[in-house]
Amino acid sequence: MSEKKQIPLRLKKELYDALSSWAEDDFRSLNGQIEYLLTECVRQRKKNGKYVSEHLDEPLDIDIK
């Protein structure tokens, strides 16, 4: 079993709320959802050498209503 590291993470409220809702839909904890998403991004990067989005470094514009 691999050791898990704890890291502080700051998220905008809108992003936190979206991730939290998505985690609830997937029956995961928020930490589990974030770990899942990061793992998928790393797999994608290893698979084809590209990031999931060409615009990954651009600020998010989340419109949640």
- CA dist 11 to 3, 15, 34, 46, 47, Å? 24, 6, 11, 26, 28
pLDDT, tens only, 9-45: 999 999 999 999 999 998 999 999 999 999 988 888 8
pLDDT, position 19? 93
Q: Is the pLDDT of residue 64 over 60?
A: no
The 8-class DSSP code of residue 58 comes to S
pLDDT, position 45? 80
pLDDT, position 2? 81
Tokens of 5: 């590291």
Angle CA(54)–CA(64)–CA(27) in degrees, nearest 5? 85
Q: Kindly report the backbone phi and psi dihedral angles of residue 23, in degrees, each rounded to the nearest multiple of 5, phi listed first.
A: -60, -45
pLDDT, position 18? 93
Instruction: Tell me how long the chain is.
Output: 65
